[in-house]
Amino acid sequence: MSAPDLVIDGCAVVTVDDAGTEHRTGWVSVRGNRIDALGAGRAPDFGAGVARIDGRGCLLTPGLVNTHHHLYQWITRGLAADNTLFEWLQKLYPVWARIDEKSVRVAATGALVSLARTGCTTSSDHHYVFPRGGGDLLAAEIGAAATVGLRFHPTRGSMDLGESQGGLPPDEVVESIDDILAASTAAIEQWHDPSFDAMVRIALAPCSPFSVTGDLMRESAALARSAGVRLHTHLAETVDEEQFCRDKFGCTPAEYMERLGWVGDDVWFAHAVHLDDPAIATMARTGTGVAHCPTSNGRLGAGIARTAELVAAGVPVGLGVDGAASNESSSMLEEPRNALLYARAVGGPRAMTVRTALELATMGGARVLGRETEIGSIEPGKLADLALWRLDTPAHAGIDDPVVALVLGSAPPLAALLVNGREVVRDGVVTTVDEDAVGADVAQAQAVLVAGG
């Protein structure tokens, strides 16, 4: 057997495998883009030609998986900070109507750099604003993800229900069904990679019940299923949305989705805050997943999802930061912490364990994106998406349990982040881009967009 390319040695290892395997001191080796082997104690001597990361004082976990985001919002942070979802949307739609290929690339780069700095190795994105003449916005964000080096699941989102038709968004930011379906087909053909170690996979994602028609939902589902890609949308985020659905469709948002054929193990909903018991049962029976976004739900006062009940029922649950316009930090590590705190605040001390919170941020996200055999846990043969957290600084040294330190302590610096076996972060700094230049570009793009210049 030949030697691996890299070994991470001397760290605590929390694998998040089915058996819950953990080592207080352990090692993990990487060959190419895959995890090769792991074990307890110090690593075997693989010889002088093997790269080595000294993991002493650190915790190694699977990279975190972000199941819901809107990268373009990185340049519209700090606006409408004290509004309801519908008020917030109506203030922001006119700003978003001015985005273009260049500003989306800058925003996506900034957002992805921030995700990498907080341990995220795979991110989804829900892009649904395509202003006429704005250029190829999907290509812009896919280019940004390739530059930063994260595994990426962009969705071709859409809106076709403008204000004049009884929807929420202004007419200038909606598209026709024909244009949306043509662009969706093109996106799948150009970008979707079904292979085991894919760095880009596409899904289709009409935006929400109050911004798309039922026809678009049905036709998007038919297209996605014929092409073998997944389906994503916002659902049951606020009580206002529930009222909208009751008034317009005579049913709850979840019942509306079932009526449209939008349930199944190829579907995941962002938020799913306001679900009744039958909705949870339907999602469990059909394998429909949830991107739980506790920080955004708190920022917008949307409510607290029934996460403990969803997990107990067997619904696939992952975590998401949601767009930065409703979560200025967009820290992937804040999501397991907030998921746990919210779950316990409403459900008591046993509503969610610390290890379940970490599992939602890793394997849970992998399941929601349909990649549970490839990412989400540290097991030989899986892809080398790994986060090495420093727990030896004054903020964490002496916390007895490394998983508690990670989930309940302040955010620790990353000693290293590997994606597909490639280093993206070292000593807390993203090494694939010039971070200072990214910050300057974001500030300039924000000034131009928000000032309307």
Binding-site ranges for Zn ion (CB under 5 A): 270, 322
- Give kind and range of the element (H or E) at residue 11: strand 6-14
Category of 135 on φ-ψ map: left (φ > 0), alpha (ψ -120 to 50) or beta: left
Residue in the shown chain whose Cβ atom is closest to Zn ion: 322
- Write the DSSP symbol of residue 63: P
Minimum CB distance to Zn ion smaller for 217 or for 388? 217
Q: Tokens in use for 189?
A: 């053909």
Minimum CB distance to Zn ion smaller for 270 or for 442? 270
- CB 294, min distance to Zn ion, A: 13
- CB 271, min distance to Zn ion, A: 7
**CA–CA gap between residue 309 and residue 316 (Å, rounded):** 11
- CB 40, min distance to Zn ion, A: 41
Is residue 144 a contact partner of residue 112, using CB atoms and an 8 Å limit?
yes
**CA–CA gap between residue 60 and residue 386 (Å, rounded):** 7
> From the centroid of its chain, how far is CA 45?
37
- CB 401, min distance to Zn ion, A: 33
- Write the DSSP symbol of residue 149: T
Minimum CB distance to Zn ion smaller for 242 or for 322? 322
Minimum CB distance to Zn ion smaller for 5 or for 322? 322
Is residue 5 a contact partner of residue 31, using CB atoms and an 8 Å limit?
yes
**Residue where the block lists tokens 């659902």:** 235
- CB 81, min distance to Zn ion, A: 17
Choose among 135, 131, 73: nearest CA to 107: 73
- CB 188, min distance to Zn ion, A: 22
Minimum CB distance to Zn ion smaller for 327 or for 446? 327
Choose among 353, 283, 355: nearest CA to 316: 283
Is residue 11 a contact partner of residue 25, using CB atoms and an 8 Å limit?
yes
Minimum CB distance to Zn ion smaller for 87 or for 277? 87
Minimum CB distance to Zn ion smaller for 307 or for 432? 307
- CB 351, min distance to Zn ion, A: 24
> From the centroid of its chain, how far is CA 370?
13
**CA–CA gap between residue 266 and residue 316 (Å, rounded):** 11
Choose among 125, 133, 128: nearest CA to 101: 133
Minimum CB distance to Zn ion smaller for 203 or for 270? 270
- CB 156, min distance to Zn ion, A: 15
Is residue 125 a contact partner of residue 152, using CB atoms and an 8 Å limit?
yes
Looking at the DSSP bridge assignments, the partners of residue 290 are 269, 317
Minimum CB distance to Zn ion smaller for 113 or for 270? 270
**CA–CA gap between residue 8 and residue 118 (Å, rounded):** 19
- CB 248, min distance to Zn ion, A: 20
Minimum CB distance to Zn ion smaller for 219 or for 322? 322
- CB 268, min distance to Zn ion, A: 12
> From the centroid of its chain, how far is CA 248?
30
**CA–CA gap between residue 228 and residue 12 (Å, rounded):** 38
